[in-house]
Amino acid sequence: MRIPPLGTVVALAIGVAAAVAAQCRMTYSISVYNDGAVSSDYSAVYGYSSSIDNSILCGCGHGGYQTTTTVYAPDGSSYPSTQGGMSSSVSVPVNGRMGTYQVIGRISLYCSCAGPVAAGGLAASLYACPFPAGEMSEAVSWFSGSDYIGATFMMDLKEAGNTNPPALRYQGRVVSERLSDLVDGCWFPGSDEPKLPLPDPSAWSSWTVTSINKYGGDQIANPASWVRYYQQVIATNPYRYENNECSETDTQTMLMNGCAGGPGCTYDIHQIKIVVQKDKVTVFRGNGQATGN
């Protein structure tokens, strides 16, 4: 008798000629199913395995079932748990080992016609890797120089419900921006300033998250020549723009890298907006804003 290797996801089908009635051929049909879950606080990983034995026995008997569930952690450690019957489970502490866990189940039994028999199923993958549900932006400084005018923002990462994550939850993870959909609403035909271009991806920024789940500073600014020119246009021609102001907008998409080489995730998308008035400039980043000149 040949037993297929672990990893057979469909029903295990092994034909075995048994010394039984001439009109009956014993056929093994044993399915092993694996699953698991990650606790909501990412402190534990749970593995589950269960089996179904639909074998055609032809007078043979199956018994002595034992099921082993093994969880493999990202660092290579393994945690087996064997229980009598056709199901078993195991709980594994994460202990900071974020990444992909594998759950593999195996069932063994005794067949009265063929002796010991074993079967396994495809591994179930569990990705123990938290991601924030959003962020809050806070302006921490204003700068107005000969090159750029704008504000610097620091960000607090947030969980679902805008709650604060536990300390160290995202420490060392990397947040990156993606910029799109830039609209220069100040530009007009004949303007002395060219339309603002979307920054090249090589100029997009990334930040490392601190132990208190903050990152920054993100400088939201436009060239000083652009700002001062349109302030002058508004001052000398107040009817060119509605409400005597103009603005530039774009979309900022925030991504966080994954754990242990696993996939990252987009967790927040918001608007960036710079509003120009004749005597002041207001910068918006998501829910945060700052005003200066």
Give 211-243 pLDDT, tens digit per residue.
999 999 999 999 999 999 999 999 999 899 999
The answer to whether 12-128 and 134-292 have equal CATH topology is yes
pLDDT by residue (tens digit) across 26-80? 899 999 999 999 999 999 999 999 999 999 999 999 999 999 999 999 999 999 9
Residue 4 has pLDDT above 70, yes or no: no
Q: How far is CA 155 from the centre of its chain?
A: 19
- pLDDT band at residue 289 using 50, 70 and 90 as cut-offs: very high
The string of DSSP letters for 242-275 reads: GGG-EEEEEEEEEEE--STT---EEEEEEEEEEE
Could you tell me the residue ranges of all domains in the chain? 12-128, 134-292
How many CA atoms within 13 Å lie on the side-chain side of 202? Answer: 0
What share of the chain in percent tops pLDDT 90?
Answer: 91
- Is-contact 91 44, C-beta < 8 A? yes
CATH topology of domain 134-292: Immunoglobulin-like (2.60.40)
Angle, CA 201 vertex, CA 257 and CA 268 arms, to 5°? 45
Q: What is the mean pLDDT of residues 178-207?
A: 97
- pLDDT band at residue 179 using 50, 70 and 90 as cut-offs: very high
Taking phi over 0 as left and psi of -120 to 50 as alpha, with beta for the rest, 112 belongs to alpha
Report, at the CATH architecture level, how domain 12-128 is classified.
Sandwich (2.60)
pLDDT by residue (tens digit) across 81-104? 999 999 999 999 999 999 999 999
- The Cα 150–Cα 187 span in angstroms is 19
